[in-house]
Amino acid sequence: MTSAGPTLAAARQDGRAALVGYLPAGFPTVDGSIALMRALVDGGVDVVEVGLPYSDPVMDGPTIQAAAETALAAGSRTADVFRVVQATAAFVPTLVMTYWNPVERYGVERFAADMSAVGGAGLITPDLVPDEADEWIEAADRHDLDKVFLVAPSSGPHRLRLATAHCRGFVYATAVMGVTGARDQTSSAAPELVRRTREVTDLPIGVGLGVSSGAQAAEVASYADAVIVGSALVRAVLDAADLAAAVEQVTVLTKELARGVRGELREPEQS
């Protein structure tokens, strides 16, 4: 299996941020989600986040909630998530983003072992804090998996040190407080959060929540090691007429985002 850390570090060595793209497994179907993950790869993502659909996604905004509902209604289960991970991990490091309850129900050791078996990089656990994560930390370490915990603008020095000390792969910095969703403007709190986080860790820092365009991706890439995009990609699928159109729209948006993180977007001409 491949940790996301070296990929993010290599992007930083190249003088750019990495692009991390999120889509839920099983959305709109399992096979459809595999096709969409391939569109992310074809569009230029460096790392893929595969969302595990959950029936009570309290931290997600309406766009990702709608995608999770579609996946669950189509019969998506945890075993399908591993199938999607396996199909994607052959191309780029692939993590699962999941609430903690499904992992506990599945069995922490079993989940870690199955992630390792399909080549997954590890987990992003938005509602699990390190001081309550002993079982996961031990299982992840046994199976050589990334452990990605979150920090937020509200995180004080102690919380920043605790979270980053237990991360492997990268640190996930949530750019805004509240639920997820694409926004017209990125958070003004994000640069300061990244600065404070850099004071306590050398790990790459990815910023998520709110990016929806190449210009925004370029803005976040100016201070973060990775730009994480989810809701905008999900919205591209929801707005598409069919799967073929969704694949095309995801590819186009991902290419724009990739150009943004690589500094390839042209500045507008002055009149």
Residue 162, exposed/middle/buried by CB under 10 A (0-12, 13-18, 19+)?
Answer: middle
Indicate if 242 belongs to the active site.
no
Which of 31, 46, 49, 131 is flagged as catalytic?
Answer: 49
**Pairwise CA distance, residues 91 & 172, whole Å:** 22
75 close to 27: Cβ distance less than 8 angstroms: no
CB-based contacts of 183, cutoff 8 Å, min separation 6:
176, 209, 210, 212
Which of 60, 114, 146, 225 is flagged as catalytic?
Answer: 60
209 close to 180: Cβ distance less than 8 angstroms: yes
The length of the chain in residues reads 271
**Pairwise CA distance, residues 32 & 19, whole Å:** 22
Q: Which helix (H) or strand (E) holds 162?
A: helix 157-166
Indicate if 248 belongs to the active site.
no
- The set of catalytic residues is 49, 60
